[in-house]
Each structure stands twice: as C-alpha cells, then as structure tokens.
Amino acid sequence: MGRVRFTTAGESHGPAVLAILEGVPAGLPLLAAHIDGELARRQQGYGRGRRMVIEHDQVEFLSGIRAGETLGSPITLLVPNRDWANWEAIMDPAPRAEDDAPAGRRRQLTRVRPGHADLTGLLKYDRADARDILERASARETTARVAAGAVARRLLVELGVSIGSHVVQLAGVDAPALAVLPDDINAAADASDVRCLDPVAAEAMRVAIDAAKVEGDTVGGVAEVVVRGLPVGLGSHVSWDRKLDGRLAQALCSIPAVKGVEMGDGFAAAARRGSTVHDEIVPHPGDARRGNVARRTNRAGGLEGGMTTGEPLVLRVAMKPISTLMRPLGTVDVATGQTAAAAAERSDVTAVPAMGVIAEAMTALILADAMLEKFGGDSLGELRRNVDGYLARVADRVR
C-alpha cells in the first residue's frame, strides 16, 4: 500500500484489537456509528460460535478525529475484547507463578490443528505453546481490519463509490446467479443470516451448516464483492506492483482461511474462447466515470490491464473450512511427540458470511489507496476537486 496504509495489533483474548490507519485526508465526516455499523455486520452470521454472543464490538477513537471529522493525522481505532475478562490470567503480559509449574500456564495448546497456523508458527517462532501463535492467527484480528475498512468506505462513499457483498456458495450449496443484483446489495444480503440473496439456497446452506455442526465438522464457501461508481483508470498497467488486480488479490488472500480470489469470470474464462470472454465496447455518452463508453457484458469484472474500466468491480473470494474441528483430525502433540487428536477449542462452524464483510473492508482499503494514489489531496475538498478535474477531461475524450 502506498497512500493509505494501516496496521493492526491485538491478541484474540487480549484486552483489545486495534488499527492505525494513515493517509486519510482531512475533513472526512466520521462518527463511531459508521464504524460500529460495519463491526456489527461482521459479527452476524449463521454458524458462528459462542464468542460472538460475548462480543458486542464498538470502536473507541484514540487519534485522528476531532468534532466528527478526520484531521489528516493517523487514525487509531480500538475495539475492546469483552472476553478479556475471562482470559486475564492466561493472557497476562506479566509472568505468573504458575508459568513455572510443571503443568505451565492454563489453556496451553500443544495438539496442533491440521490446517491452522499452530504448528508452523510455533516451529518458526520457537514457542512451546501454540496459543502464542493462534492468538494472532485468530480471525478476531479481522475486527480491526473492518474498523479501518469502514473509514476507507466512508471516503469512497463521499466520492460516489459503493461496496457490497453477498454469499454465492456455502457448504457446497450454490446460490443461483442473478440477472440483476439489487441496488443496495448489503441491505438485501444483511437481511439473511447467511448473507445469501436467494432464500431457497440460503435455507439449504443453513441445513448444510447444521449437518456439519452435528458431525463436529466445519464448512467453507465463496463471497462475491461488488463495487459500483469507480472511475475508469485506477491502478496502472505500467508496473507489476501498481496493477490493481494484483493489489486486490494480495489484500483478499491475506484474510484468514481465504484460499482463492477471482476477478470477473476468473477461472471459468480460462476454458472459453476469447470471443466469449472479452466484453464488447459501445458508446455511452454522458458517462464520464466509464469514459463515455460501456461494456455490453462485464465478464472482466471491471478490470482490464490492471486498471478499473468504470464497470462494476466484481471479485469472488473463496474461504476454506475453519481448521478447528470439534471431531478432530489426527496430529502430533508437540509436547510429547506422540500421535494425538488435534485440540478442539471453542470455534465457529463457518465464518463465510462474515468473510464477505471483511472482504468488503479489504477492498475498500485498497480502493481508497488507489483513489489517493491517482488523485492525491490532503483534504476531502482537494481530493474531490482533483477527481472532478480528471472526470471533466475524460468526458471530453470519446464523443
């Protein structure tokens, strides 16, 4: 990331998770409610475990905002972990007497879970207890990403860009493709606890989640992110690290348990002929954001040459099943070297509905960065003027 950067910190069962976000221009109206609304969306979802009953995520602004507007300085967003009250002894930063006892600190995890960061992390970081790894590998960290992404989303909304997502596959159940998506994708998707726009598929997804739960198993799925209102020309074709498709793929693949990202028709396009893959271009006067042209189809998903075309950006994100199984797979206990059943910590059957919300947040952060890269501006007003100047020139091109 260049212009808009962020980092997160915090252990899953520590006092809080937080994000520091840099590069947001001054003068962006921002209230805690904007962040809290997104945090609540991330906490929804059929198939979540008991942790989501404990947490009611709410942001505290520690820096970068005054009287409801950004200052242009780093924005610190802190979200307390309510569960900390139950974990203070286990996660205490100070050493405790029991650390020296033969049994060591409580809640050690040595029966490392296949598919989790547990084993590789403790070998790499030379730890005896996989808790030192899993606390940070936990999807709790995505709370901070969604908080930072909510700020990026606010900026994009001011520039006429909207981001939505919905679940298109869960537990092996495919939602039928819709000819036209609703205007407000999130209003429709958030009304479903699996965030699926098709009620029949949604019910089949719930049934499949229940069946996996009964068998102590977990399930994955695919969410689709759709972004509307982007101007033509974000990103660049000139260098590998400026290509927007590559930057989006990196951001989305960094979400825990995400194993694949598709742009537009993605993998399916590889099996077809060019004449049925590429999108024909037609005049579309008066539409500067698309360069006064339109694509008859949008199989490219709004990206050509590593740049936005002005058509809706369409990204699909695939999540593997969560690796904590209540009916565990076989593993090695790293404390004894003996074979064992993997640890079965409290967890979720699926987090695919939440993953879609997290994917929106990561997409918003990358797009806010791309907007500031192209247009610059230390204040929202300056950024707007720069966008308007560019669109005025584009409107003059194809007539």
Binding site for ligand EPS (CB under 6 A): 12, 49, 51-52, 55, 83, 134, 138-140, 143, 324, 345-348
> Helix axis angle, 380-395 relative to 142-158, nearest 10°?
60
Nearest to ligand EPS of 83, 132 (CB atom): 83
Beta bridge partners of 330: 341
In whole angstroms, how close is the CB of 83 to ligand EPS at the nearest point? 6
3-state helix, strand, coil in the chain (%, to 5): 40, 20, 40
> How many angstroms separate the CA atoms of 169 and 97, rounded?
49
Tokens of 362: 């990561």
Nearest to ligand EPS of 84, 390 (CB atom): 84
Nearest to ligand EPS of 132, 382 (CB atom): 132
Nearest to ligand EPS of 138, 308 (CB atom): 138
Nearest to ligand EPS of 139, 230 (CB atom): 139
In whole angstroms, how close is the CB of 324 to ligand EPS at the nearest point? 6
Q: Which residue's Cβ lies closest to ligand EPS?
A: 51
Nearest to ligand EPS of 12, 292 (CB atom): 12
In whole angstroms, how close is the CB of 354 to ligand EPS at the nearest point? 6
Tokens of 82: 């309510």
Q: Of 79, 92, 90, 238, which Cα lies nearest the Cα of 148?
A: 79
* DSSP E strand stretches across 117-257: 162-170, 173-174, 221-228
Nearest to ligand EPS of 111, 374 (CB atom): 111
Q: Of 38, 314, 312, which Cα lies nearest the Cα of 151?
A: 38
In whole angstroms, how close is the CB of 91 to ligand EPS at the nearest point? 11
> In the chain, what's the furthest Cα-to-Cα distance?
79
Nearest to ligand EPS of 87, 375 (CB atom): 87
Phi, psi (rounded to 5 degrees) for 384: -60, -45
In whole angstroms, how close is the CB of 50 to ligand EPS at the nearest point? 7
In whole angstroms, how close is the CB of 152 to ligand EPS at the nearest point? 20
> Helix axis angle, 142-158 relative to 352-375, nearest 10°?
50
Q: Of 224, 232, 374, 238, which Cα lies nearest the Cα of 295?
A: 232
Decide: 147 and 38 in contact? Cβ < 8 Å. Answer: yes
> How many angstroms separate the CA atoms of 396 and 399, rounded?
7
Q: Of 188, 167, 174, which Cα lies nearest the Cα of 359?
A: 167
In whole angstroms, how close is the CB of 151 to ligand EPS at the nearest point? 19
In whole angstroms, how close is the CB of 138 to ligand EPS at the nearest point? 4
